[in-house]
């Protein structure tokens, strides 16, 4: 039996114990199982073992022509970003591409680390990004269920799974 089989066998009860606190579209899975997924929606159950200070992420951007004082384009992101890619635009009114500025909309974010509960579990931790009101009243040691989307992202020269939370419940 492989390590992955042991992990899956030992976590079958977690899915059965997952409460109806989050509207269940699928069973809760463990942190260990979530870390092995790539770009998909999940419900995960784990214990909060670390919490960051509130930070900001970019939720939308608007391009503005300073010459004409008009909005050229607004783009809202499905998932907020830490950095924004540069995009070159030319104003259709005055043909300027020099006087274009970008205005950003931000969302409050807290990074939490989730870990499986129990004495016989792996010590793996999943980074989970909480947004808006979900950043309030969270505490280390709290067992939570998070519905969200696992996305693979670069982090310190490696790729890792990050959970973008849509909802969190105790």
Arithmetic mean of pLDDT over the chain:
83
Percent pLDDT > 70 in the chain is 83
pLDDT tens digit sequence for 17-51: 455 544 444 689 999 999 999 999 999 999 999 99
Q: Which pLDDT does position 84 carry in this prediction?
A: 84
d(CA 124, CA 154): 18
For range 147-168, the mean pLDDT: 92
CATH (residue range 3-54+109-169): 2.40.50.140
Q: Which pLDDT does position 26 carry in this prediction?
A: 61
């Amino acid at each position: 039996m492989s390590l992955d089989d042991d992990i899956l066998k030992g976590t079958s009860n977690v899915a059965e114990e997952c409460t109806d606190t989050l509207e269940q579209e699928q069973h809760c899975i463990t942190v260990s199982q979530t870390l092995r997924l790539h770009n998909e929606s999940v419900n995960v159950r784990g214990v909060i073992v670390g919490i960051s200070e509130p930070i900001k992420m970019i939720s939308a951007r608007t391009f503005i022509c300073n010459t004409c004082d008009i909005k050229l384009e607004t783009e809202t992101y499905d998932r907020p970003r830490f950095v924004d890619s540069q995009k070159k635009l030319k104003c259709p009114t005055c043909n300027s591409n020099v006087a274009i500025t970008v205005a950003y909309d931000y969302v409050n974010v807290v990074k939490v680390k989730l870990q499986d509960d129990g004495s016989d579990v792996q010590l793996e931790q999943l980074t989970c990004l909480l947004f808006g009101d979900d950043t309030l009243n969270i505490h280390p040691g709290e067992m939570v269920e998070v519905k969200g989307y696992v996305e693979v992202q670069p982090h310190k020269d490696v790729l890792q799974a990050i959970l973008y939370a849509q909802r969190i419940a105790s």
